[in-house]
Amino acid sequence: MPLTPDPSVIAKMAMFQGLEADDLRDVMGNARTRRVAQGTRIFSQGDPAETCYALIDGRVKIVQTGAEGEQMIVHFIGPGEMFGTLAVFTGGGYPADAEAVTDCVEISWSAATMTELMHRHPVVAINTLNILGRRLMQVQRRLREISNERVERRIARALLRLVEHAGRPVDGGTAIDFPLSRQDVAEITGTTLHTVSRTLSAWEERGIVELGRQKVTIRDPDTLTAIAEDLPGQAPATASVRGGSGG
């Protein structure tokens, strides 16, 4: 994990597809590389957006906070992805916090540099449109899901997405590659940590997942998918999610 990252890492990033070696040097020449420790706040909601970032290694979570302190995890960033780019194009402050959930290595550019870069290399702007477009589509889908679907299904979907995005195969299943608390899952799915805890515990009893502190391992992704998609042949565990025998 050298502080001068392999240029090939940058060359692979979606944002810089279609650039020549010369242009890549141009890009890298204007960048700054930095290590950040787990737990570090990289930028805060409302800060003037003067810098945009790419993640080389580690995981970063993007968290939005409401007027009364309610938080929502907007996105998890993995290696090769950009973050903090939004506000750079729209002006104004960052719309959310960014926090390193593991030790990370990041590259950053000043907003001005990035804008220049895009004027010099239109393909970078178009690549970014592509990325931002996908992200917008994702968020819109999530918006529909969160309005129309039950909590259990939302949690199932969230786990499946996390596995896809950050799954690490382990003995007897797939784990999620960074610390993920029940509270985190709640802030992804728009529910409370209590409900998440109950739901996951019920799933653990059914052998679908295995739980640990800030850790979830998926043992039976098919059943999870069945829950997420409401496929027939898999009885929902709704009843047992509630207080057990109470009711």
Contact footprint for a second copy (CB under 8 A): 64, 66-68, 70, 72, 74, 85-87, 89-91, 95-96, 115, 118-119, 122-123, 125-126, 128-130, 132-137, 139-149, 189-191, 229-230
Provide the mask over 101-130, with x wherever binding to DNA is found by CB under 7 A and - wherever it is not. ------------------------------
Helix, strand or coil for residue 74? strand
> How far separated are the first and last CA of the chain, in Å rounded?
54
CB-based contact 61:71 (threshold 8 Å)? no
Least distance (Å) from a second copy to the CB of residue 245? 29
The CA distance from 10 to 158, in Å, is 29
The CA distance from 196 to 83, in Å, is 27
If the CB atoms of residues 59 and 142 are measured against a second copy, the closer one turns out to be: 142
If the CB atoms of residues 95 and 179 are measured against DNA, the closer one turns out to be: 179
Contact call for residue 242 and DNA (CB under 7 A): yes
If the CB atoms of residues 35 and 153 are measured against DNA, the closer one turns out to be: 153
Least distance (Å) from DNA to the CB of residue 185? 8
Helix, strand or coil for residue 79? coil
If the CB atoms of residues 121 and 198 are measured against DNA, the closer one turns out to be: 198
The CA distance from 30 to 108, in Å, is 9
Interacting positions 212-231 with DNA (CB under 7 A): 213-215
The CA distance from 224 to 203, in Å, is 9
| Residue 64 binds which of a second copy, DNA, none (CB < 5-8 A, kind-dependent) | a second copy
The CA distance from 188 to 83, in Å, is 18
Nearest to 39 by CA among 23, 61, 21: 61
Interface contacts to DNA, rule CB under 7 A = 150-152, 181-183, 190-195, 197-198, 200-201, 204, 211, 213-215, 238-239, 241-247
